[in-house]
Amino acid sequence: MPIGRHVAVIGDGDVAMDVARLALRLGAQATLVSGVPREEMKCSGFEFEEAVAEGTRMVYLAGSVEVVRDGELVKGLKCIRMVKKEQGEEGWDHPIPFFRFKVEPGTEFTLEVDQVVASIGQTTDMTGLEQTTGGGPWLKVDHNQQVEGMSNVFGGGDAVRITLLTTAIGHGRKAAESMDLLLRGQPLPARPSRQDVIRFEKLKWDYFQPASQKKRRLDHPREVKGSWREVLVPLTREQAVAESARCMSCGLCFECNQCMLFCPQHAITRFPGNPEGEVMFTIYERCVGCHICAEICPTGYIDMGMD
Ligand SMILES: Cc1cc2nc3c(=O)[nH]c(=O)nc-3n(C[C@H](O)[C@H](O)[C@H](O)COP(=O)(O)OP(=O)(O)OC[C@H]3O[C@@H](n4cnc5c(N)ncnc54)[C@H](O)[C@@H]3O)c2cc1C
Ligand code: SF4
Ligand code: SF4
């Protein structure tokens, strides 16, 4: 798609920041049109700051009314001022910030731009795949990423809900594990494997060596136009390895042996003879439920349940 000379980007999320920065790199001017004030914009703080540092002009509290054309060509974006709704007014506490604002009649103004990009959210196009959505716009999957009512179909990522790369990759991995079980004729887990988030308080942090975070450095090019250099400087190999060593394996067993060493009943074993997949194995006949293992476990992996 050819780039204009001055691009208006409608939106206030991270994608809008990306689009504005891309326009700048391609040599255009970029004006971002946000319907809300800075403090209510959906984008992350650093994305905003980087977009500004690279030269994006921000216009706040502006609703988009009309793309002004001259024949086939775009010559402007007509906007209108937005104001906050009064408390109690319909939508004043809407979860999406934009809907907490309303237009102020008679305040139209026009931005002179020759290209307009809307970055105001995405949805799916499930035409032909309706049986996978249960009538809605999204793929309907369970905790095994299996499409509801279709045992041979799995899915994830943005088709389930608009999300991030890491979530999409996690969905893909979970779906692959489910498909593997299915193909081996084994049952899929009846329940999600772990629903609760292990909070910092549940970790035994005395167990871990303090280690400061290796921060990535920002290095903006002097001239953004034409530059495709990484702005966020990658960690060195050594720094990346050191970062991964800071992982506290929250909620996962990292085989530190503490539970086995402290169990007064010798109920926890780590022998080659353990059942498949059980590195640490509890012999429940010996366990007296003293909670010592749960208290000592650095990662919060051991949960003393009722069943
Ligand atoms: C501008 C922008 C910036 C983003 N920045 C970030 C970021 O910085 N960090 C981050 O974590 N996430 C970011 N995201 C979100 C991230 O890109 C997505 O969450 C992620 O790519 C979702 O992966 P996915 O595999 O579900 O979908 P996609 O990556 O969209 O892949 C879907 C694939 O399916 C194909 N497809 C579609 N329909 C069909 C069909 N009927 N048959 C066969 N194939 C089909 C498509 O062509 C596409 O290749 C950004 C998204 C956008 C749009
Ligand atoms: S609860 Fe006590 S006896 Fe049971 S496994 Fe843990 S430490 Fe051993
Ligand atoms: S369950 Fe906890 S204490 Fe036992 S080996 Fe795993 S991480 Fe260590």
The tokens describing 97, both together, are: 């910030």
The CATH code for residues 6-118 is: 3.50.50.60
Residues near ligand 3 with C-beta < 6 Å?
Answer: 253-259, 280, 296-299, 301-302
Residue type, 187: P
Per-residue pLDDT tens over the stretch 186-208: 999 998 876 678 888 889 989 99
Q: How far apart are CA 181 and CA 29, in angstroms?
A: 52
Task: List the beta bridge partners of residue 59.
Answer: 33
The pLDDT assigned to 306 comes to: 62
Which DSSP helix (H) or strand (E) runs through 70?
Answer: strand 62-70
Q: Which ligand is nearest to the CA of 46?
A: 1
| CB contact burial 137-166 (16+ within 10 A = b; e otherwise) | ebbbbeebbbbeeeeebbbbbbbbeeeeee
What is the rounded CA–CA span in Å between residue 50 and residue 30? 13
pLDDT recorded at residue 133: 93
| pLDDT tens digits, 66-109 | 999 999 999 999 999 999 999 999 999 998 899 999 999 999 99
User: Fold identical between 6-118 and 195-211+246-307?
Assistant: no
pLDDT of residue 156: 96
> Which residue is it, tokens 């020759």?
114
Q: Which CATH class is domain 195-211+246-307?
A: alpha beta
Q: Which two tokens stand for residue 103?
A: 């237009």
User: Which residues contact residue 268 at a Cβ distance below 8 angstroms, ignoring those fewer than 6 apart?
Assistant: 259, 260, 280, 281, 282, 283, 293
Determine the atom of ligand 2 nearest the C-alpha atom of 291: 1
Closest by CA position to 298, among listed 247, 264, 242:
247
Domain ranges of the chain: 6-118, 130-183, 195-211+246-307
**303 conformational bin, left if phi > 0, alpha if psi -120 to 50, beta if neither:** beta
Mutate to test the pocket of ligand 2, among 260, 268, 270, 295 (most ligand atoms within 8 A of CB): 268
**The pLDDT of residue 194:** 64
Phi, psi values for residue 117, rounded to 5°: -120, 125
**Which ligand 1 atom sits closest to the C-alpha of 125?**
38
